[in-house]
Structure 1
Amino acid sequence: MKLAVVGGGSTYTPELIDGFARLRDTLPITDLVLVDPAAERLDLVAGLARRIFARQGHPGRIVTTGDLDTGVADADAVLLQLRVGGQAARERDETWPLECGCVGQETTGAGGLAKALRTVPVVLDIAERVRRANPEAWIIDFTNPVGIVTRALLHAGHRAVGLCNVAIGLQRKFAHLLDVTPAEVHLDHVGLNHLTWERAVRVGGPDGTDVLPRLLAEHGEAIAADLRLPRPLLDRLGVVPSYYLRYYYAHDEVVRELGTRPSRAAEVAAMEKQLLEMYGDPALDEKPALLARRGGAYYSEAAVDLAAALLGGGGSPYQVVNTYNNGTLPFLPADAVIETQAAVGAKGAVPLPVAPVDPLYAGLIANVTAYEDLALEAALRGGRDRVFKALLAHPLIGQYEYAEGLTDRLIAHNREHLAWA
């Protein structure tokens, strides 16, 4: 089995490698190709990757290349983890929206749109080259904004599934609090990527007992603290929102906070420099503890589970993924991409039936889906008016003066990545 990781020079990659090594019986990789144009960085990451495989006795071969076509040739699955423009672009995404009094964040709001505009054309080019190399290859997208990028891939006819680590992180957290194994915890996870709610936490599978009321009663303070939302709000809602919902439920508070401290991009850039220095140590043969602060917790377990299921070799029967709605949420178009529990196998991901969604959540889901329609149109066709309309439609923006100012700033800061600008 051959897997290719596009963006293999990412500091995330040792987390992925650790999962491949530990879970080799679930996903028996024989050849792993790390693809990245940043040769020096790629060499550091690959060196550590090989040492991790050696330490854990994995027999697979790890090779590197800066050439995409070489890297994806004959691959059974291709995992995408790119950041077009690097941390410098992320830094801008997190700062210029604040000038208009809006949240600066790399996956939602104006910054998220900028990332989508930079990313979608690049990902579609990669996907076409994967299809030419092997039409049967699966594309697993971990590249943000996952919902919009996955939608672009599916609309273009690619065999693709989107992946995020939010759900698996909550599953692990709840399993720990309940003193059960993660495999016993099934989430009623509904919404869009980075816009989801856990409406039930069932032990024993989709038909198991819902223990969410118990979790909120016994551990509500800890859960609320992790989300940085008030405990009374969780009690009133009776659900656990994704931590990204804080950008919506406490928008003004978040904007004030972001204006008083260094950006997350600056923190990550400093962390990445330190990590790469660690990766260059020939004595290091395991992922360093610092990597947990980089983000992407449990990414490797989720990626292994999904790849194994898609390639027919195992994996959990039910997984939270990003895929076509196809009537699952009746208030959305069939070709919207939702994030939900799905049955995953060699033919792809099929969402499980979902109980009716409360209007409190359905309204926001529908609003953001409409924004994603417009964002994808802007990413595919370009044009200032399309960017403006997408920004105006976003519930974190929604005022024409903000949308005008943000449109000008977005184009100015991303001109080198926008072919039409």
Structure 2
Amino acid sequence: MSALKLAIVGGGSTYTPELIDGFARLRDTLPIGELVLIDPAAERLELIGGLARRIFAKQGHPAVVTTTADVAAGVDGAHAVLLQLRVGGQAARNEDETWPLECGCVGQETTGAGGLAKALRTVPVVLDIAETVRRANPDAWIVDFTNPVGIVTRALQEAGHRAVGLCNVAIGFQRKFAAHLGVAPELVRLDHVGLNHLTWERGVTLLDAPGAADGREVLPELLASHGKEIADDLHLPQAVVQRLGVVPSYYLRYYYQHDEVVEELKAQGSRAAQVAEIERQLLEMYADPALDTKPELLGERGGAFYSEAAVQLIAALLGTGTSVPSVQVVNTRNDGVLPFLPDDAVIEVPAEVDAAGVRPLPQRAVEPLYAGLVAAVTAYEHLALDAALRGGRDRVYDALLAHPLVGRFDLADRLTDRLLAHNREHLAWA
């Protein structure tokens, strides 16, 4: 295949240089000829665009980097479009992380009431962008990084777009487990199952060779030898992780230790405020014409290993690598893989990925301890998407009432009022 054209909607994000770094380093896997950064924030966009050009130049990458605020022009002819939006910016995120605390609930941008607010703001915008992509190139793949990834990906797929969701939780675990084992990441395969930001590693296989079908189960060994490090990284008690015998994603803290997390968040302030300060410093760095690498500070912004995951996924979808399907953890349509969920639910599991599309791999039965929570959150996500598509206070209330972190009439009522009060400018129907 000839050099590719990629577009990043939300290209003015301070996180974009992480992607650029990956594209530059892994150019043999993903041969990009043109990269378009799309964003309405002109000043930020030019800073990011300038740094992207310098990173590519330093590493001898021949790609042309262009910038634009025009989505239609930017995605025209693109083989793949990456979505990394934050409707309302860090200011809206800060609100998502604070007003739920007034009701004694976790304030977080991807789950609970804050996650619902982000979904309501985001889904209509993403669908408008996706329609523009479809008009420009109906064969283009849309890769969604935009949170909440499960709900946004479901919206895209239900609207008939060629879309897949991507998160860095799985690749992060793969890299950390490989480091504990002292092996290359390609030798570690995860038994990863659940929904976006609601997953468990039920097994870790140490492969005989990269891509091999066989290997040795090493999760009990990892928990025995590195249990404290793993638990500390998750901010969970080691006894809980050992009791479960699996490794939950960090986001399970919001369910397993809800009240403790609420008190922590009240005491330490919002993550959005911390990120805003990191972004301020990053933008100052990006303005330096001598900077031609991603700064170490970017690691504190979050999203570790996203670039590697994105390159692997896009290369497989566009057929630029081997003809053998690549197995990657993605967010995609269930279609009976987890039989206790509807077919149109979006699940996060390993899948075969190639130019023919995404095919989630069969999964062994999910234990009731996890399946119950997965089913409950799937029902919430169905109601959340309905509220995002059709609006209305009652639909917002129903989604909150269904969420396992809410689940009470009075609490759902108070949260609904606050959600609407803080988001009217972003909700056309409110």
**Pair in the same fold by TM > 0.5:** yes
Aligned-residue offset at 1:208? 1.9
Aligned-residue offset at 1:206? 5.3
CA–CA separation in structure 2 for the residues paired with 1:252 and 1:176: 33
3-state SS of paired residue (2:105):
coil
Letter in 2 for 1:291: L
- Off by >6 Å, runs of 4+ in structure 1: none
Q: Does 2:331 correspond to 1:322?
A: yes
Superimposed CA distance per residue, residues 171-192 of structure 1 (whole angstroms, 9 cap, x where no aligned partner) = 0000111111111111000000
Superimposed CA distance per residue, residues 22-43 of structure 1 (whole angstroms, 9 cap, x where no aligned partner) = 0000000000000001000001
Report percent identity of matched pairs: 75
CA–CA separation in structure 2 for the residues paired with 1:350 and 1:152: 18
Q: Equivalences for 1:253-292 in 2 at 5 Å?
A: 253-292=260-299
Q: 2:340 aligns with which of 294, 315, 331?
A: 331
Q: 1:359 aligns with which of 362, 368, 371?
A: 368
Superimposed CA distance per residue, residues 16-72 of structure 1 (whole angstroms, 9 cap, x where no aligned partner) = 000000000000000000000100000111111100000000011000001110000
| Greater Cα offset, 347-356 or 102-111 | 347-356
CA–CA separation in structure 2 for the residues paired with 1:135 and 1:289: 38
- The residue aligned with 1:18 is 21
- The residue aligned with 1:414 is 423
Aligned-residue offset at 1:343? 0.2
- The residue aligned with 2:95 is 92
Superimposed CA distance per residue, residues 180-220 of structure 1 (whole angstroms, 9 cap, x where no aligned partner) = 11111110000000000000001115542110000000000
- The residue aligned with 1:404 is 413
CA contact 1:186–1:206 (8 Å) conserved in 2: no
CA–CA separation in structure 2 for the residues paired with 1:390 and 1:254: 22
In structure 2, list runs of 5 or more residues that go unmatched. Answer: none
CA–CA separation in structure 2 for the residues paired with 1:269 and 1:314: 37
- The residue aligned with 2:32 is 29
Aligned-residue offset at 1:416? 0.5
3-state SS of paired residue (2:344):
coil
In structure 1, list runs of 5 or more residues that go unmatched. Answer: none
How many equivalent residue pairs?
421
Letter in 2 for 1:22: R
Q: Equivalences for 1:31-46 in 2 at 5 Å?
A: 31-46=34-49
Superimposed CA distance per residue, residues 334-356 of structure 1 (whole angstroms, 9 cap, x where no aligned partner) = 11000000000112211111111
Q: 1:311 aligns with which of 309, 312, 318?
A: 318
- The residue aligned with 2:191 is 188
3-state SS of paired residue (1:259):
helix
- Length-normalised TM-score, structure 1: 0.99
3-state SS of paired residue (2:32):
coil
Q: 1:157 aligns with which of 152, 156, 160?
A: 160
CA–CA separation in structure 2 for the residues paired with 1:24 and 1:203: 28
| Greater Cα offset, 312-321 or 341-350 | 312-321
- The residue aligned with 2:301 is 294
- The residue aligned with 1:4 is 7
Letter in 1 for 2:204: V
CA RMSD of aligned residues (A): 0.8
Q: 2:135 aligns with which of 109, 129, 132?
A: 132
CA–CA separation in structure 2 for the residues paired with 1:45 and 1:187: 34
Q: Does 2:181 correspond to 1:178?
A: yes
Residues 292 and 35 of structure 1, relative CA distance in 2, 3 Å threshold: same
